[in-house]
Amino acid sequence: MPDPGDAQRPAAALGRLRLAATRAWEGLWERLSLSTKLIGALVVAFAVVFLLVHWISNSFEDSHYDLLSQRTLSKAAEVVVESIRWDAAGRPVAVELPPDLRWLPAALQDDLDFRIEDRDGRVLIRSPGQAHGDAASTVSRTEQDGTLFRSVTVAVGTPDTPYTLHLSLTDRLLHLLRTQVISWPTALITTVLGLVAVTLIVLLAVRRLLRPLHDASDAAATISSENLHRRLSTEGVPVEIRPLITAFNQALGRLEHGFRIQQEFLASAAHELKTPLALIRGQIELEHDFASRDLLLKDIDLMARQVHQLLHLAELSEIQNYRFEQVDLCAVALDVVGYMERKAVRSRTSLELLLPDLPVYAMADASAVFILLRNLIENAIDHSPAGGEVTVSIANEALQVIDRGPGIAPADMPRLFTRFWRGSARTYEGAGLGLSICQEIVLAHRWSINVRDASPGACFTITLG
């Protein structure tokens, strides 16, 4: 009994062969240079155009064979008529063809015959040919000794002295002459179609060849400080461009290494400073008999705050330090407002929290959002006058913090989120890192932060998504 699997083996072998051939072709295509691919595309384009023109010409000739033969014969008759030399009495005395055609009657005696007759049928002039076509009609087809002739009869002379030109050509001679009388619309259409074909093939080839470059450009545009570990792929890239992609990847590696060293230094420096500051503060607190004790404690608290902000900045600048999950922003805002209540009381500022009826969820890091709102509220309290009010608003698409302070000068707007920058009109101590930390958190969440003058005060808006 035959095995059913025997019938499937040839198909499976053929499939494997096709797969191997496809992979071999793809590997060969990737190893070719860009110039080689472009030259190959041009060669293919011209080959296609040549075949297209040849096919169109043959198709037109086959479908209009009789018409083209008639046009060719009529053109030949016109040349002969224009070459007739007349005497003073208006009688034809000779046929003097153009210099480049005078050899035809003698060289092609079996394929060409013309004669001029008077009204009585007497032959006055005749070519040296031995071919004879049928002159009974204006245009006719006859066969002589197996050779097909096409003949035309044309009236020449004047009404008083009429004469008749009889011209006969074989089909094989007409075939040679036909290319000279193909109508210009056919030639124009063929040329236009050829140009369109070349253009389309070259455009498709260039688009295919440049697709890896567009992909590399799009990938490079997505690289930022959050994903410096990404690299551009060299797969499918022309060999002329691969060194550039490789050099770009190496530059990214050096940039990533330098950025990591900077962040590690920032975190290490902040950690190293925390312990000495704590020891100095403890030592000063044990001393009670010097006048500058309170001033030193205030400076140490300021330095400790700056170190704490440096730690936050170093941690929040790395995307891998975030843990994203569904977070209720209303609950986080309640915690932040409760946490900042004591500072507001000390500054004689009131806090107002506006929440929607339903919770507002977002994919976020709860600790980072807490720091974000805390820094914005703290900044608002610092800029609010005594008896002022800070409003915190949570909505489905945005978070807002509004104060009633002096506002922000237009000249200071561009530098508002610059690290270590502090406004000239500040009335509080700070390192100028609070808003920079806010911006890092917003960028990590792919949100946006904007500030505008609230007249009076300032309004910070965080747009979600």
28 vs 327, which has greater pLDDT? 327
Strands 350-354 and 389-394: parallel
pLDDT of residue 334: 93
For domain 322-463, which CATH number applies: 3.40.50.280, 3.30.565.10, 3.10.150.10, 3.40.50.11240?
3.30.565.10
| Model confidence pLDDT, tens digit, residues 86-120 | 888 888 989 888 888 888 788 787 888 888 888 88
pLDDT of residue 448: 92
CATH number of 242-314: 1.10.287.130
| Model confidence pLDDT, tens digit, residues 182-192 | 455 566 676 77
| Model confidence pLDDT, tens digit, residues 240-255 | 778 888 888 888 888 8
| C-beta of residue 316 within 8 angstroms of C-beta of residue 442 | no
User: Residue 437: which pLDDT band, with cuts at 50, 70 and 90?
Assistant: confident
pLDDT of residue 62: 56
Find the range with the poorest average confidence among 32-36, 82-86, 416-420: 32-36
Distance from chain centroid for Cα 277? 56
Average pLDDT, the chain: 76
Nearest to 85 by CA among 111, 116, 128: 116
pLDDT of residue 447: 92
pLDDT of residue 390: 93
Find the range with the poorest average confidence among 147-151, 372-376, 377-381, 446-450: 147-151
- Rounded distance between C-alpha atoms, residue 15 and residue 3, angstroms: 20
- Is residue 1 pLDDT above 90, yes or no? no
User: Residue 47: which pLDDT band, with cuts at 50, 70 and 90?
Assistant: confident
| Model confidence pLDDT, tens digit, residues 251-303 | 888 887 777 766 666 666 666 566 666 666 666 666 666 656 666 666 666 56
pLDDT of residue 137: 41
Most trustworthy range by pLDDT among 206-210, 233-237, 429-433, 452-456: 452-456
Most trustworthy range by pLDDT among 58-62, 225-229, 377-381: 377-381
- Which residue in this structure is represented by tokens 């032959």? 123
Burial (CB count <10 Å: 0-12, 13-18, 19+), residue 168 = buried
Domain layout of the chain by residue ranges: 65-182, 242-314, 322-463
| Model confidence pLDDT, tens digit, residues 343-401 | 899 889 999 999 998 999 999 988 889 989 988 998 899 888 888 899 999 998 899 99
pLDDT of residue 136: 42
- Rounded distance between C-alpha atoms, residue 465 and residue 456, angstroms: 29
- Is residue 15 pLDDT above 90, yes or no? no
CATH number of 65-182: 3.30.450
pLDDT of residue 256: 78
Helix axes 65-82, 171-178, angle to 10 degrees: 90
pTM: 0.45
User: Residue 135: which pLDDT band, with cuts at 50, 70 and 90?
Assistant: very low
Average pLDDT estimate for 312-324:
68
pLDDT of residue 100: 80
Strands 325-328 and 123-126: unpaired
pLDDT of residue 251: 85
- Is residue 450 pLDDT above 80, yes or no? yes
Strands 448-453 and 458-463: antiparallel
Task: Report the chain's terminal Cα–Cα distance, integer Å.
Answer: 68
What is residue 110's DSSP assignment?
A: T
Find the range with the poorest average confidence among 27-31, 115-119, 225-229: 27-31
pLDDT of residue 319: 67
- Is residue 320 pLDDT above 70, yes or no? no
Q: What SS3 class is residue 112?
A: strand
Q: What percent of the chain has pLDDT over 70?
A: 67
Find the range with the poorest average confidence among 47-61, 359-373, 418-432: 418-432
